[in-house]
Amino acid sequence: MKKRKITALVMTLVLGTVAFSGCGKKETESKYKIYYVNEEQGEVLAESFVPSEETTQTMLEEMTEKLNKKNAEGHTLLPENIEIQSCVDDDGMIRVDFNQEYHDLNPVDEVLLRASIVKDYVQIPNIYLVTITAEGTPIVDSQGQEIGAMSLDSFLENTGKEIMAYQYKELNLYFTNEEGNQLIPEARQVYYNGNTPIEKVIVEQLLRGPGESGHYATLPSDTRIVGVSVADGIAYVNLGKQFVDEALSVDAQIPIYSIVNSLIDAGNVSQVQISINGDTSLLFKDKVDMNQLFQVNHELEKGGED
């Protein structure tokens, strides 16, 4: 985490042999996983991977083959129309080249795919970094900058560690006034599982609503969180259709910047993308174009200015 520190760990629960899924490991279960994107659920899932031998080259070839291999329905573990064209070990750094269709991925799926590919290949002995290209062209972030080599530290997400670290953090959550035309900060202290991104915790807390008199909700409380991920200083928040269909009677910008200002205040991100079931081609309340990266808006805060 980059800017604001999270207060020291207050409680650690060691769960023995708890596996990534939270269930006990069987002796026959492989210690390796294939991570892949579930596009419908907007998250990274995992299944066991058993290599024929635990050598770098063999695992590299077999993992790539498994990712590209089609099942009985003609689908692979990769998003539709996406395939790995080559995968080369360059002295501890894997160079993964996808086909041209990689560039057609929506931003949410692209970040999830990137995270899963890194998690896949850094399991291999003597592999520490991953670079991704599409038809030989380096991939870039939302600002056109080359992303370069990535490690697990490039992504904030559930790491699957066998230690559940509970942490304490003070948050500034932005709710609204009675008129629904301004944002009002509300300080809140939360304990949360350190294996959960703080950005997801913030969205969950916003959905719970305010706890102080004179503060009013900005989001429909039953809005489903499809997924929250962070990469390149951007928070990708994927919400269910309730966010739109059950929008509250507040100014159009208020729900958007309730999320944006709350997330950016936490210190890990400087921009936020909000999608509805992965779709950003929406005009929220017929006023706010969702197809953009949102930045903090202090003008909406009570007594605030940019």
Task: For 169-204, write each residue's pLDDT tens digit.
Answer: 889 999 999 999 999 999 988 867 777 889 999 999
Tell me whether residue 168 is exposed, middle or buried, using C-beta atoms within 10 angstroms of its C-beta: 0 to 12, 13 to 18, 19 or more. Answer: middle
Listed range (102-106, 128-132, 190-194, 198-202) with the worst mean pLDDT: 190-194
Task: Map residue 256 onto helix, strand or coil.
Answer: helix
Pick the more confident residue, 140 or 282: 282
Cβ-contact 290, 272 below 8 angstroms: no
Pick the more confident residue, 279 or 144: 279
Strand partners for 276: 239, 279
Cβ-contact 135, 99 below 8 angstroms: yes
Grade residue 163 by pLDDT with cuts at 50, 70 and 90.
very low
**Tokens of residue 132, six digits:** 């991704």
Grade residue 46 by pLDDT with cuts at 50, 70 and 90.
confident
Helix axes 253-265, 198-208, angle to 10 degrees: 140
Top mean pLDDT of 29-33, 67-71, 281-285 is at 281-285
What is the reported pLDDT for 300? 96
Q: For residue 58, is pLDDT > 70?
A: yes
**Tokens of residue 261, six digits:** 């200002």
- Ranges assigned E (strand) in 60-181: 84-90, 93-98, 129-134, 137-138, 163-176
C-alpha to C-alpha distance for 260 and 33, rounded to whole angstroms:
34
C-alpha to C-alpha distance for 223 and 241, rounded to whole angstroms:
7
Grade residue 3 by pLDDT with cuts at 50, 70 and 90.
very low
What is the reported pLDDT for 140? 86
What is the reported pLDDT for 37? 78
Chain centroid, CA 295 distance in Å: 18
Grade residue 281 by pLDDT with cuts at 50, 70 and 90.
very high
**Closest to 243 in 3D by CA, of 288, 275, 286, 291:** 275
Task: Map residue 57 onto helix, strand or coil.
Answer: helix
**Tokens of residue 275, six digits:** 């999608």
**Tokens of residue 35, six digits:** 């991570």
Cβ-contact 109, 278 below 8 angstroms: yes
| Average pLDDT value for residue range 72-78 | 74
Q: For residue 144, is pLDDT > 90?
A: no
Chain centroid, CA 64 distance in Å: 23
**Closest to 227 in 3D by CA, of 261, 171, 188, 273:** 273
CB atoms within 10 A of CB 79: 21
C-alpha to C-alpha distance for 275 and 227, rounded to whole angstroms:
10
C-alpha to C-alpha distance for 193 and 189, rounded to whole angstroms:
14
Q: For residue 75, is pLDDT > 90?
A: no
What is the reported pLDDT for 44? 73
Q: Which pLDDT tens digit goes with each residue over 250-274?
A: 999 999 999 999 999 999 999 999 9
Pairing of strands 11-14, 163-176: antiparallel
Pick the more confident residue, 74 or 103: 103
pTM for the predicted model, two decimal places: 0.56
Question: C-alpha distances in angstroms, 12 versus 15, 16, 168?
Answer: 9, 12, 12
Pick the more confident residue, 89 or 4: 89
